[in-house]
Amino acid sequence: MKRFDQINVIPFIDIMLVLLAIVLTTATFISQGSIEVDLPQAESAEALPQTDDKTVEIAIDTEKRLFFEGDAITQLELAVKLEGLAKETPVILRVDKLVAFQNFVSVVDLLKKNKLEKLSILTSEANEK
């Protein structure tokens, strides 16, 4: 009888790679939309186009708090952060439907001042609810 002096770890590595792929795939779905925002509905809502560029997300919740990439921020701090972005940076804007229109306009105004024109405004489909 042949004696086994070593363990074959190749099947273990295969299993770990599959598990890693599953975790990375589901992690992108979990992290998106971590800030509670009830999006307005639109008949023409469509999925965001996939881009290779680094997108920036700005959100405004029901309490009119601003979030930049998930971190709470003031309007002054947002202005400073937007100044440092490249002009071709895609921006995703998530605004709660109960927020006053002036808050939305203020953020869009900051984007225009910094010539950030690749803007996507997230909405939910009208037949979703």
Q: What is the pLDDT of residue 23?
A: 86
| pLDDT above 60 for 51 | no
Q: What is the pLDDT of residue 81?
A: 92
- Taking CA atoms, 114 is separated from 52, 78, 93, 101, 128, in Å, by 21, 11, 15, 20, 34
| pLDDT above 80 for 29 | no
Distance of CA 8 to the CA centre of its chain: 41
Full-model pTM = 0.61
Higher-confidence position of 103 and 48? 103
Whether the CB-CB separation of 45 and 126 falls below 8 Å is answered with yes
| pLDDT above 50 for 52 | yes
- Taking CA atoms, 88 is separated from 28, 69, 109, in Å, by 23, 17, 17
Question: Considering the domain 41-125 in this protein, what is its CATH number?
Answer: 3.30.420.270
Domain boundaries, the chain: 41-125
Rounded (10°) CA dihedral 5, 7, 10, 16: -160
Q: How confident is the model at residue 67 (pLDDT cuts 50, 70, 90)?
A: very high
Structure tokens at 56: 């920036």
